[in-house]
Amino acid sequence: MIKTFFDWLKQPMGMIAVGIAFLVLFSVAAFGLYQTQQAPEQPIQFPHKTHVAFGIQCLYCHPGASKGPSAGIPTQEKCWACHNQIQKTQTSALLAPLKDAVIGNTPIQWVPVAIVPDFVQFNHRAHIAAGRNCEECHGDLTQMTIYENPQVMNMGWCLNCHVEAAGEDQEKLIKLSDCGTCHY
């Protein structure tokens, strides 16, 4: 039986079958890989570019960035303070979830995407204090609707910037390349 199978594999049909099998495997794997890179679904299709275009500063909605580790997601109260006065809020279907959340007093379940794993202790304040601007890491929000990371936020990316920031300063390099700066 095994022999006949091997023999069959040598024939054109068999070879095609092997080829198809490999193709299927590869495409499934690729699909799986692609899946991991997909942005999650957000409860509200939040248009960052519209808000930025109105001249709203990043820190207005994400004030935590200048004060501590987490930039934070604005409270619904804050959204509503403006949206309450905008006619479109009452009519637009896209804004219905916000209206419902505020009226129903239920929290909007955002899915943060600019995240680091638990074992990384990231602090926004230190980065802002060091003169970094939001867009250096988060990209050009004037072009984005739903936020997407402009690059993979991995350790190499962090470290690259840290090393560059240190430049020739030994003290700074030691501090910025120290494992204990981010991992504890």
Partner 1 sequence: MADHKNHAEHAEAHLREKHLMLDPLPRGKMNEMVMESMTEKPTWKFWLVFAVLSVITAYGLFYSWGVMIAEGLGVAGVNRPAYWGIFLVNTVFWIGISHAGTFISAILRVFKAEFRRPFTRAAELMTTFGLVQAGFSIFMHMGRVWLSYWLMPYPNQRMLWPNFHSPLSWDLLAITTYLLSSTMYLFLPLIPDVAMARDRSTGWRKTFYKVLALGFRGTEGEWTHLRNAMNIFAFAIIPVMFSVHTIVSWDFAAAMRPGWNSTIFGPYFVVGALHSGMGAVIIVLAVIRSTMKHMKYFIRAEHFDAIGKLMLIISMTWAYFFFNDYMVQWYGGDKWTKQLFHFHEAGPLGWMWFAMLIFNVAIPWAILWNPKWRSTPWLVAVVGIFINIGMWFERYIIVPISLTINRMPFTWRLYEPGIEIPLGIGTLTFFILLYMAASKLIPLIPVWEVQEGQMAHELKKFGRETVVTVSELE
Partner 2 sequence: MSEQFSRRDFLKLAGLGAATTAVLTGCGPASRYVKREPYMEMPEYTATGQSTYYATTCRECAAGCGLVVRTHQGRAIKTEGNANHPLNLGKTCARGQASLQGLYNPDRVTDPIKAGSPLPMDWDAAIQVVADALKNNKPEEVAFLMGMAPDHLFDLVSDLAKETGMNAPIRFGALGMFEARATLSQAAGNLFGEAGLPYFDVGGAQVVLSFGANFLETWLSPVSYTRGFTGLREAQTKQRGTLVQFEARMSATGGKADEWIPLRPGTEALVALAIGKLAAEIKGGAMPRAFAGVDVLDAASKSGIKLETLEHIAGMFANSAGALAIPGGAALGQSNGLEVAEAVLALNALADNFGKPGGMSISALAPDQTEYHRPASAKEMQDFIQKMAGGKFKVLFVHGVNPFFELPNSLGFHSASKNVAQLISFSTFRDETAREANYVFPDHHGLEAWGYQRVATGAMQPVLSGAQPVVSPFYNTRATADVMIAAAQLAGGSFAQALPYADEVEFLQTKVASLLGEADGSFSAPNPQTFMAYFQQYGGWWRNMDGRVAPSASGALNRSIKGDMAEFAGEGEFFFIPFVSPTLAEAGANKPWLQELPDPTTTVMWNTWLEMNPETAHELHIENDDVVRVVSDAGALELPVYVYPAIRPDTVAMPFGQGHTAYGRYAEGRGVNPNDLLGQHFNEAGDLAFAGMKVKIEKTGKKRPLSRLESIMGVYGEGLGEEH
Partner 3 sequence: MMATLSDLKISEVKLSGKEAGKWGMVIDQDICTGCQACVAACAMENNISFVGEEDAGYGRSMHWIRIERFWEGEYPEVKMTPNQPMMCQQCGQAPCEPVCPAFATVHSMAEELNLQVYNRCVGTRYCANNCPYQVRSFNWRDYERPEPLPNQLNPDVTVRRRGIMEKCTFCIQRIHRAQDQAKAEGREVVDGEFTTACAQACPASAITFGRTDDPASLVSQLMKRRSHGVKHLEELGTLPNVTYFKGG
Q: Which residues bind partner 2 (CB under 8 A)?
A: 4-5, 8, 13-14, 17, 20-21, 24-25, 28-29, 31-33, 35-36, 38-41, 62-64, 67-78, 101-102, 105-113, 115, 124
28 SS3 class: helix
Q: Which does 64 bind (CB under 5 to 8 A by kind): partner 1, partner 2, partner 3, none?
A: partner 2
Six token digits for residue 17: 């079958």
If we measure between CA atoms, which residue out of 157, 159, 161, 139 comes closest to residue 52? 139
Q: Which does 183 bind (CB under 5 to 8 A by kind): partner 1, partner 3, partner 2, none?
A: partner 3
2 touches partner 1 by CB under 8 A: yes
110 touches partner 1 by CB under 8 A: no
Alpha carbon of 94 to those of 27, 79, 141: distances in Å?
35, 14, 19
133 SS3 class: coil
10 touches partner 1 by CB under 8 A: no
If we measure between CA atoms, which residue out of 45, 58, 50, 35 comes closest to residue 139? 58
Closest CB to partner 1 among 66 and 154? 154
3 touches partner 1 by CB under 8 A: yes
6 touches partner 1 by CB under 8 A: yes
Query: What's 151's DSSP letter?
Result: S
157 touches partner 1 by CB under 8 A: yes
159 touches partner 1 by CB under 8 A: yes
**How many residues bind partner 1, per CB under 8 A?**
8
Q: State the distance between the two ends of the chain, measured CA to CA, in whole angstroms.
A: 59
Q: How many alpha carbons lie under 13 Å from residue 23 in its C-beta half-sphere?
A: 6
Can you give the binding site for partner 1, defined by CB under 8 A? Answer: 2-3, 6, 154-157, 159
